Structure 1
């Protein structure tokens, strides 16, 4: 695994626009083989701009921890292996028509992606 990021680097990545954080998420999750959610007797959920539930996921424990505030203050980061994400979690979300909120920042801004689409993006570069 890579070394911990500096505070300045964490802040710089969090300040990226949502679509850039999405690309960063894809690269990091492919490299590390893991993603992170927030969990407390169930996964934390967020809302997209249309008010639909999404499951927020982050590329590292540190970013997930940064968002364990306000409504998620009682939640703790939980690791999801890439294989579990691709084989279990994303198919279950797709079945329930729940999207993934990729890489939320502490202000609640993320990038909603359909679960099946995110799976395709993670296995390789999604063809347009």
Structure 2
């Protein structure tokens, strides 16, 4: 279980650009062994980029919950274990031809990557931390 973030940490991380957010997410997911999504009564919520339908993911509960406002105020942050992500989600997203929106900020800015790329980067990060 991850240590909760304080407001100063959240404010600092919210200033990161998309590449810094991606690196932060990879480190947090590997360290905490969980990745955060938002769900509603229909399942995982989605974002649409110009080219792709995406599943947004966050490194911490606090950032996922910050998105549960407005149209998404009925959504709940849900942690997925890293093992479950590797064993089910990567292939499921590929089969459904979905991309991943990496740690989008409040302006809906974030990198869009394909599930196999994300899986590879997570495994690379795990090797670095051993």
Give the TM-score normalised by the residue count of structure 1.
0.91
Q: Does 1:63 align with 2:40?
A: no
* Correspondences of 1:79-94 after superposition (within 5 Å): 79-94=79-94
Aligned equivalents of 1:58, 1:28: Cα separation in 2: 9
Q: Does 1:19 align with 2:40?
A: no
DSSP-derived class of the 2:25 partner? helix
- The answer for unaligned runs of 5 or more in structure 1 is none
DSSP-derived class of the 1:120 partner? helix
Moved more, 11-20 or 79-88: 11-20
Residue in 2 aligned with 1:36?
Answer: 36
Aligned equivalents of 1:111, 1:23: Cα separation in 2: 11
Alignment RMSD (CA, Å) = 1.2
Aligned equivalents of 2:10, 2:123: Cα separation in 1: 25
Aligned equivalents of 1:21, 1:27: Cα separation in 2: 10
Residue in 2 aligned with 1:114?
Answer: 114
Number of residue pairs aligned between Structure 1 and Structure 2: 124
Deviation, 1:118, is: 0.2
Aligned equivalents of 1:71, 1:64: Cα separation in 2: 14
Deviation, 1:71, is: 2.3
Task: Report runs of 4+ in structure 1 exceeding 2 Å deviation.
Answer: none
Give the TM-score normalised by the residue count of structure 2.
0.89
Deviation, 1:40, is: 0.7
Deviation, 1:3, is: 2.6
Deviation, 1:120, is: 0.7
Residue in 2 aligned with 1:74?
Answer: 74
